[in-house]
Amino acid sequence: MVLQEKLDSFKRQKEEIKSFKDLGLCDELVEACDSLGWKTPTQIQVEAVPHALEGKDLIAHAQTGSGKTGAFALPILNALLDFHSKQGYKSAPIFFALVLSPTRELAIQIASQFEALGSGIGLKCAVLVGGENLMQQQIALGKRPQIIVASPGRLVDHLNNTKGFSLHMLKYLVLDEADKLLDVDFEKALDDILNVIPRDRHTYLFSASMTRNVKKLKRACLRNPVLIESSSKYCTVDTLKQQLFFKPAKLKDCCLVYILTEMSGCTSMVFTRTCYATRLLSLMLQNLNIRAIPISGQMTQPMRIRALNKFKSGECSVLVCTDVASRGLDIPAVDMVINYDIPQDPRVYIHRVGRTARAGKSGFAISLSTSSLSSRVTSFVFFITGKTLSEYDAQEEQVWLLFERVTESKRLSLKKLKEIGGTKKRRGGDEDDEDIERYLGVKGKRSKLGKRE
Ligand code: AMP
């Protein structure tokens, strides 16, 4: 068959897939999708699931919000059910699949999707992430779960210290946000894991962005993987309106308040560069009666979960975050992403704005920019996505009207942070994180923070 014919036939095949049943999934899973309100498979599910069901390894580029968790969870659960029907439930395998995630929140989210899809089949899932009670996780492992979702470091802890725990039965390995997991930060832990799991397994790599490291892993661990690019490597969805709010630097905070006030019915995520800024801006916004809450990597795990829950439940409408929240977190109904600080790396921009306009919904991404930055944002957005940014429509005089109130609110917030964190002369950017660590109780003032959170 010549290439064009092959492509046409592949296209026809995809067009014929209209339902989860067409993907080749068993009835239990078709019902599970239906009960979650998943009417038709998403593009990544259409492209990945049939290959996975054929037993192929996968490298899948899938943008956030594309339904990628389902794309790897469904074939794994299908294989598990297949095993059950052939061998009976009594001989059900334990530790059937391992999903690794670079962040704790994402791990929790992945596990909840597995649990939702597997609720009708008695699926057991253990989440092994740092910052949570080790003993409780050991108890969860003792319940013989079929699925483990883990961050690499904590999994290695359990492999070394939890009596009787081994992954020699593992059949599936998934690296979600694979490019991140292949960073040097995770190199040692990942090697330790790869050394103790069976080579005879299925391996899936999923990521919105792929690095050369993934290719390295492809050589090392995958067996004739199918490469799936359900979207161009970095792209944003058409339902996302991307804009630039271009004003002088001293009006930056006013611009933020202006947008949040104009769009007051929206749920928003505001991205900043430092942990300190998340705290400072949240306080500033709270002083202006905007329901904001911070989340950053410097917060303890229970605090991060609490912040996320307050945001998800609608108690807070603005989540001020560092890039800890830019990857993989599925926070439904985020209407708007604001880049308070513009990221250096274009890929980070794509991850951030991928928090909105998910699963076919519309959304806004607004980047606050000063003259020196605007060309960087517009050019990298255009370079990556082929889309141009329009300018956010606001009269400068209207923004200036906010100046006094916002400046006063920021001054009070700075004062408050200093009182809580101990007065410290900030000498530069790195000092920010030290301040916030102290404020967060990492350096010994936990009780104060506990009350505030
Ligand atoms: P993910 O990209 O895996 O983070 O998924 C993003 C969101 O899409 C999650 O809330 C899923 O529950 C939802 N989702 C996944 N697959 C489908 C589908 N086929 N139809 C509708 N929603 C879906």
| Per-residue pLDDT reduced to its tens digit, 200-253 | 999 999 987 766 565 566 655 778 888 887 654 556 667 788 888 877 778 899
Which structure tokens are listed for 256? Answer: 């933020």
Q: Is residue 17 a part of any domain in this protein?
A: yes
Q: Is residue 253 a part of any domain in this protein?
A: yes
Shared domain check, 300 and 219: no
pTM listed for this prediction:
0.64
Domain boundaries, position 21: 2-229
Q: Which of 19, 31, 36 to mutate to test the pocket of ligand 1 (most atoms within 8 A of CB)?
A: 36
Shared domain check, 185 and 55: yes
75 lines ligand 1 (CB under 6 A): no
Q: Is residue 448 a part of any domain in this protein?
A: no
38 lines ligand 1 (CB under 6 A): yes
Which atom of ligand 1 is least distant from the CA of 330? 4
DSSP labels for 365-426? EEEEE-HHHHHHHHHHHHHHHS-PPEEP---HHHHHTTHHHHHHHHHHHHHHHHHHH-----
Question: Does residue 157 carry a pLDDT above 90?
Answer: yes
Shared domain check, 265 and 170: no
**Percent of the chain whose pLDDT exceeds 90:** 41
Shared domain check, 212 and 311: no
Shared domain check, 181 and 46: yes
Task: Considering only the C-alpha atoms of the chain, give the largest distance between any 2 of them, rounded to a whole number of Å.
Answer: 73
Report how far residue 392's alpha carbon sits from residue 237's, in angstroms, rounded to the nearest whole number.
19
In order of 158, 201, 265, the CA distances from 167 in angstroms are 11, 11, 48
Structural domains in the chain (count):
2
Which structure tokens are listed for 128? Answer: 């092994």
Q: Is residue 60 a part of any domain in this protein?
A: yes
pLDDT at 234: 56
Shared domain check, 247 and 383: yes
CA 313 to chain centre: 18
In order of 256, 433, 434, the CA distances from 428 in angstroms are 23, 10, 11
Question: Does residue 98 carry a pLDDT above 80?
Answer: yes
Which of 229, 264, 294 is the last residue in one of the domains?
229
Write the CATH number for 352.
3.40.50.300
Query: Among 123-137, 176-190, 238-252, which range has the highest average pLDDT?
Result: 123-137
Residues whose CB falls within 8 Å of the CB of residue 20, separated by 6 or more in sequence, listed in order: 29, 30, 33, 34, 38, 40, 41, 74
Question: Does residue 442 carry a pLDDT above 50?
Answer: no
CB atoms within 10 A of CB 35: 12
Which atom of ligand 1 is least distant from the CA of 359? 8
118 lines ligand 1 (CB under 6 A): no
Which of 229, 258, 281 is the last residue in one of the domains?
229
More confident residue, 128 or 248: 128
Centroid of ligand 1 to alpha carbon of 442 (angstroms): 35
What average pLDDT does this structure show over 182-194? 89
Shared domain check, 389 and 326: yes
Shared domain check, 85 and 33: yes
Q: Is residue 25 a part of any domain in this protein?
A: yes
In order of 270, 302, 312, 332, 405, the CA distances from 309 in angstroms are 16, 10, 5, 12, 30
Question: Does residue 355 carry a pLDDT above 90?
Answer: no
Shared domain check, 245 and 140: no
Q: Is residue 235 a part of any domain in this protein?
A: no
Which of 209, 229, 249 is the last residue in one of the domains?
229
Shared domain check, 128 and 245: no
DSSP state of 35: H
According to DSSP, the β-strands at 125-128 and 147-150 are: parallel
Shared domain check, 63 and 109: yes
Q: Is residue 344 a part of any domain in this protein?
A: yes
Count of helix runs (H) and strand runs (E) in the chain: 19, 14
Shared domain check, 217 and 267: no
65 lines ligand 1 (CB under 6 A): yes
More confident residue, 220 or 365: 365
68 lines ligand 1 (CB under 6 A): yes
